[in-house]
Amino acid sequence: MPMAVDFGGRPFHFIGVGGIGMSALAYVLAKRRLPVSGSDRCLTHITRRLQENGVHIFWSQEAENIAQISTSSGGTVLPQVVCSTAIGAANPEYKAAVDAGCPVFHRSDILAALMNKAQGIAVAGTHGKTTTSSMVGYLLLKAGVDPSIVIGGEVSAWHGNAYVGSGNYMVAEADESDGSLVKLSAAIGVITNIELDHPDHYSTLDEVVGIFKNFGQQCGLVIGSADCPTVLNQIRPGITYSLRQESGADYIATDICETAQGTTAEIWEREQRLGELHLAVLGRHNLSNALAAIAVARRLGVDFDAIATIMATFEGAKRRFDCRGFHNNILFVDDYAHHPSEIEVTLAAAKVKTTEQLSKINQRRVIAVFQPHRYSRITAQLSEFATAFNQADHVVVTDIYSAGESNPSGITGEDVASAIREHHTQVTYAATIDDVQSRLALLLQPGDLVIFLTAGNLNR
């Protein structure tokens, strides 16, 4: 039988505590006054926030860290060691923990244990889960439910990627990338969509569907998108939402109007008009995400007038169409999109932004700077990436960000640029960040919108 997570005061130690998923869990445990330490290699605003909340951080990942934690606990209590899929068996800290007999947990084990102690609301899906879980958390927080929140992105409303509330609900982003989604159970599960991604872990769409089916069976209620045939037909959610009036979904958006200031729509609940919704975040995909959040809030009894008022002030999660500012009348946007479907909807939103907001300027171009992410993903989906940039006026492609993967196929960023060039006339290959800067200096004009599409380090 797997060892149970101990929330009774036994210390936790996170290997790689600065990661977006790991840091959220460490923060929650620290705010609940449990002893927490971690290791990482560099100081960031994320690790600084952890330190400010009592997390001791070692600035290396060495075997001695485990012994030091045990000694500081009186030498009798071994820490509970937490790691992510990125930490391999060769990691010296991980190896020392195993050799010492420490209980070692995957980060999903900690999240599952926390969810089991609350009324869990888990948001899953190939795309949109960070924004949707942010919307759910924001709605419930502002509506007075005061949930705890653990997500894979940062939100200004709670100054980070986690929040510890006084209520009994916990909103969590549920990650399917490594299969650990099956460990989670929740009172309410949301599934935004299902596509084949993470080819390093999944070979077929059927494998992905199987993971989501397992997750759905462990939720008291599943809320899912009727606009995704795979969700609708394979998961059969108890409550559905859609952007199509003819779908017959429980929650529907009609009279959709997209402008540079946001998206407006009429919201319907089972053929009853609830009212008008305005979102400051751009794109039809975000309206779909908002419908999922509305369905959750309505299930918990939140009045629609309150929902509409709250959602009008939602600013989005960091790195999700994150407008970083203007320079020389050029708008710079940062986005986490790294899958073909994500790129398509993000560029569609960018096109709306330029068409209206910059309409008084002759040049209204969308310049997409794309850093391909993971050799396995690019190799498996190269043909889909090749056609994903049609809404961009110019595409700049960098070398592939490996995320620690090997490259058995030998694919390069130049190969990606060549594939896109078969469907697009304006494509430039710029291998490094310095090359990108040089190319943009020659390319950009006042009125342009430059959007950086990366799950790697391009935005740094």
pLDDT tens track for 278-308: 999 988 999 999 999 999 999 999 999 999 9
* Phi, psi for 306 (deg, rounded to 5): -65, -40
Which tokens belong to 266? 């009429």
pTM tops 0.95: no
pLDDT tens track for 237-249: 999 999 999 999 9
Q: CA-to-CA distance for 263 and 74, rounded, in angstroms?
A: 57
- Closest among 176, 204, 177, 178 to 189, alpha carbons compared: 176
Q: Do domains 12-106 and 322-453 have the same CATH topology?
A: no
Q: What is the largest CA-CA distance in the chain?
A: 71
The class (CATH top level) of 12-106 is alpha beta
* pLDDT band at residue 212 under the 50/70/90 scheme: very high
Q: CA-to-CA distance for 354 and 226, rounded, in angstroms?
A: 30
- Closest among 29, 188, 212 to 119, alpha carbons compared: 188
Please report the pLDDT score of residue 358 as a whole number. Answer: 46
Which tokens belong to 408? 């058995």
Please report the pLDDT score of residue 397 as a whole number. Answer: 98
The class (CATH top level) of 118-311 is alpha beta
The active-site residue, picked from 126, 130, 240, 428, is 130
If one counts every other C-beta atom within 10 angstroms of the C-beta of residue 265, the result is 21
Please report the pLDDT score of residue 359 as a whole number. Answer: 45
Contacts of 46 (CB under 8 A, 6+ apart): 18, 20, 23, 160, 161
pLDDT at residue 55 greater than cutoff 60: yes
Please report the pLDDT score of residue 7 as a whole number. Answer: 94
pLDDT at residue 46 greater than cutoff 80: yes
SS (H, E, C) 184-241: CCEEEEEECCCCCCCCCCCCCHHHHHHHHHHHHHCEEEEEEECCCHHHHHHHCCCEEE
pLDDT at residue 29 greater than cutoff 60: yes
Q: How many CA atoms lie within 13 A of 220 on its CB side?
A: 10
Amino acid in position 353 = K
pLDDT tens track for 320-379: 788 888 898 999 999 988 889 999 989 998 888 777 544 444 458 999 999 999 999 999
pLDDT at residue 99 greater than cutoff 80: yes
Which tokens belong to 34? 């449990």
Note whether 37 and 56 are within 8 A (CB).
yes
- Which residues face 150 on adjacent strands? 162, 172
The active-site residue, picked from 47, 93, 126, 129, is 129
Note whether 254 and 266 are within 8 A (CB).
yes
pLDDT tens track for 190-205: 999 999 888 777 889 9
Please report the pLDDT score of residue 361 as a whole number. Answer: 42
The active-site residue, picked from 93, 173, 176, 344, is 173
Q: CA-to-CA distance for 223 and 201, rounded, in angstroms?
A: 25
pLDDT at residue 407 greater than cutoff 90: yes
Q: Where are the domains of the chain?
A: 12-106, 118-311, 322-453
* pLDDT band at residue 73 under the 50/70/90 scheme: low
pLDDT tens track for 440-455: 999 999 999 999 999 8
Q: Establish whether 318 is a catalytic residue.
A: no
Per CATH, the homologous superfamily of domain 322-453 is Mur ligase, C-terminal domain (3.90.190.20)
Please report the pLDDT score of residue 319 as a whole number. Answer: 80
* pLDDT band at residue 74 under the 50/70/90 scheme: low
Please report the pLDDT score of residue 1 as a whole number. Answer: 46
Q: Establish whether 354 is a catalytic residue.
A: no
Q: Establish whether 258 is a catalytic residue.
A: no
